[in-house]
Amino acid sequence: MDSATNGVTFSVPYEMAVVRPLRQTTEPERQAALANAHYNTDIIPQELIYIDLSTDSGVSASSTGQLAAVAQSVEPGMGLASEGSAAYGRLAAALQRFFGFDYFVPTTQGRSAERIWTKINIKPDSIVAGNLLFPSTRNHIGMAGAQIVDVIGEAAHDFVTDDPFKGNIDLNKLEQLVQEQGAGRVSCIYVELSVNSCGGHPVSLGNLSAVKAIAARHRIPLFVDACRILENSAMIKAREAAYRQRSLAEIVKETCALADGVTMSALKDFLVPTGGFIFTRDRSSQQKAAMQSFLDGVQLSAGAMDAISATLPEIFASDAYMTQRIDQVKYLWDKLAGTVPVLRPASGHGVFIDLKKFFAPIVPEPFAAEALAAFVYLKSGIRISKGPPLAPSQVARDVELLRLAVPARKYLNGHMDDVANSVSYAFARRNEIRKLKKIEDPARSKYDPAHFVTL
């Protein structure tokens, strides 16, 4: 009960309608699984995993409303005349309502949206100002022939302070870059919300507004990677005083209003296994992107569009969904923060471990993250994974992170207790964690998952 309101406190805004049994393996079984996977936990079969925190992308639990929408969607695949699809029309109405853009292009993934958008907007031999952009975004910008310059604030590299918005752009760095390079050489400013590379830390609306002002003054487009726009908005509501009485829907709308264009994966915040978007205010760009999505074969199916159309009203009906998600991640963070060196403050989708401090003074380089993941799996059956590839400024600082990514509405706090216990156990026995050596095999492609042996 809530003594302030004399009413019930609603902590979880859903119930479990379908469950999947989790296999409880033995340590000998897990040792055999590790050996068969060459000590790379990423390729251990799913049926041998107890709790999977390797990613929160595309693995969240579906709602009954989503499943019903998909079951009723029987339209053929989209052609060039996307407006003739009823599923497209339903999605268009939902997206315009919640995000405010007049033009959009649905794709299968955030990566496909980035590829199309950068191909249209990024000029060769130009500069893109960013804030430790996600690796796929960096790759697509690089493939377009542009150079990324990180203008994120120095707080992003400080893992121990409680700065609430470590994803913020450093406005002085941005202004200096534009002055040095000339506005004509800067293709765009690209801002990622809830910056994954530095621990999932958010960008404030105050900072994004100031970035927009600089962009407008120099006539530079401002693009936003909005894969985690709900998470970022929840952090704004909790940490930015001017928005504490605003709804997440209002914060999302205001965030989008600052952007000239948006790329988005729907797999994180929007509880679906496939889907991505390009949002734009320019009809010509929308037409080019739509044709490119057709040529690339990345148009979204009718069923996938209907699943997203069903989930958006559910998510935006109240702030309860994101509040519960943030609270569960914070619950795990609180369990670990007293002993294990986790990045501060807590973020919205995962807990990040500073491996340099975890293993200090002796780090089992160069595969500390993989070695810790193998040990945790051996002792608990829990899968965790190395964080995304580091940005150059992080490599220069000799950073190494491991991420516990928590899928939305999939696990209970009891599962988080098990995760905390297993990671704390590993920390207490970190001297027992065996180093790994990568197996060099010329018969295998460099793109294949790495194989290791223990030392």
**For 64-70+79-316, which CATH class?**
alpha beta
Q: Where are the domains of the chain?
A: 27-56+320-454, 64-70+79-316
Beta-ladder partners of 168? none
| pLDDT tens digits along 205-256 | 999 999 999 999 999 999 999 999 999 999 999 999 999 999 999 999 999 9
Q: Do 64-70+79-316 and 27-56+320-454 have the same topology in CATH?
A: no
Residues 151 and 27: their CA atoms lie apart, in Å, by 46
pTM: 0.94
> d(Cα 216, Cα 376) in Å, to the nearest integer?
49
| Residues 342-360 pLDDT 10s | 999 999 999 999 999 999 8
**What pLDDT sits at residue 285?**
96
Specify whether the CB–CB gap between 449 and 432 falls below 8 A. no
Amino acid at 299: Q
Indicate whether 1 pLDDT > 50: no
What CATH number does the domain located at 27-56+320-454 have? 3.90.1150.10
- Which residue, among 155, 194, 157, has the nearest Cα to 56 in the 3D structure? 194
Mean pLDDT of all residues in the chain?
Answer: 93
Task: Enter the tokens of residue 158.
Answer: 């400080």
SS3 percent helix, strand, coil of the chain, rounded to 5, is 45, 15, 40
In this predicted structure, what is the pLDDT of residue 16?
81
For residue 147, report the phi and psi dihedrals to the nearest 5 degrees. -110, 135
Q: What is the pLDDT of residue 305?
A: 93
Q: Which two tokens stand for residue 254?
A: 């205001």
Q: List Cβ neighbours of 423 (8 Å cut-off, separation of 6 or more).
A: 336, 340, 353, 376, 384, 404
